[in-house]
Amino acid sequence: MFVADPDKPHESASQTSASYPTLRPRRLRLSSGIRRMVQETTLSPSDFIYPLFVRHGHDVQQPIASMPGQFQRSVDRLPDEIRRIRALNIPAVLLFGIPETKDACGSDNFSTDGIIPNAVRAIKDVAPEMVVISDMCFCEYTSHGHCGIVNTVGDAYYDSNLPEGYLLNDPTLELLGRASVVHAGAGADVIAPSGMIDGMVGALRAALDGSGFQHTAIMSYAAKYASGFYGPFRDAAESPPQFGDRSQYQMDPANAREALKEVALDVAEGADMLIVKPALPYLDIVSAVRRTYPLPLAAYQVSGEFAMLHAAGANGWIDLRRCALESLIGIKRAGADMIVTYFAPDAARWLDSSR
């Protein structure tokens, strides 16, 4: 017989009985219609930013072996790809360039006839409304594979107070500013500095404003970690460092509080939008940045995340479609407003077919 607990006057027999619970959360999971009605987080093609790799040449569409379905494309192959992306209602692309030749200072990146300015113009010709984001870094363009000027004996920038091979911060800022102005002049809507160079947002803002590009936005990779998940990207962008690694400027994966410090600096310098990279191993960082700052926030589902889901799917270990969408909704649930993802076209089609 049920005996009421005097300390719980509202408790009933039905609430305490294992056989007949009054509170049944499963009522709201009974049908697909009810589940859609109470869904807390939604995913849409308008959330996606699609990365594209562009190289010199003609009629080039070269598969990237470690990233199924991804390609390096020549500029003349971009219009068809942009039309496909636009038809899927994906609003933005993020451009990475592979230059014809590389040098110590990555000069193709700030050439008006460089690969990215040509790509931007080609995209804007066919889809003026497409948001074109230029990834602003030098690792793809330098012969050494690092994200700016490195300290080299005999070079004009050599600093004897720093170790040889160290990435020189302030000379790199100067080049980032030059390249940003060139890309904005070609029609890029957004510049996305990704090298984790101290002061990069302030330097780019000054360079852009000083050249009449006050309305060009800056989407800063404010918290970018020295991650092991970038391996396939380095194949795609042909940008592995020729010596050492990038731990001297990208963040230690063990650090969370430091991420908020980095974001605070970029916000103070005038960032319009923020990026956390990678995404899935750093959802705690995405969540913390979302709670702390009101700026639009993107998370980058990087090449290693993409490749391992594909590999597991190809082996029959997971349902690729289900797990890819689950990973994307998890990134959105953590607080990202936008997701940079190689799954963008597939995910847009999957979402459309599920309606």
Q: Tell me the CATH number at 230.
A: 3.20.20.70
The conformation of residue 39, written as its DSSP 8-state character, comes to -
Q: At residue 292, what is the residue type?
A: T
Question: Within 13 A of 280's CA, how many CA atoms are on the CB side?
Answer: 20
Average pLDDT by consecutive 10-residue portion of the chain (355 residues)?
52 57 91 93 97 95 94 96 97 95 87 96 98 92 82 85 89 94 98 94 98 98 95 76 72 97 98 98 98 98 96 98 98 98 98 82
- pLDDT of 1: 43
- Report yes or no on 25 lying in a domain: no
Range of the domain at 136: 41-353
- pLDDT of 2: 45
- Report yes or no on 31 lying in a domain: no
Residue 94: which region, alpha, beta or left (left: phi > 0; alpha: psi -120 to 50)?
beta
User: Residue written as tokens 């027999």?
Assistant: 13
- Report yes or no on 12 lying in a domain: no
CA atoms of 233 and 305, how far apart (whole Å): 11
Q: State how many domains the chain has.
A: 1
- Report yes or no on 135 lying in a domain: yes
Q: Verify whether residue 102 is a known catalytic residue.
A: no
- Report yes or no on 63 lying in a domain: yes
- pLDDT of 241: 65
User: Residue written as tokens 């995404």?
Assistant: 279
User: Residue written as tokens 């597991």?
Assistant: 312
Contact residues for 316 (Cβ-Cβ < 8 A; gap 6+): none
Q: Verify whether residue 277 is a known catalytic residue.
A: yes
- Report yes or no on 18 lying in a domain: no
Considering the candidates 8, 124, 224, 332, report the single residue annotated as catalytic.
224
Question: Within 13 A of 20's CA, how many CA atoms are on the CB side?
Answer: 3
- Report yes or no on 19 lying in a domain: no
- Report yes or no on 28 lying in a domain: no
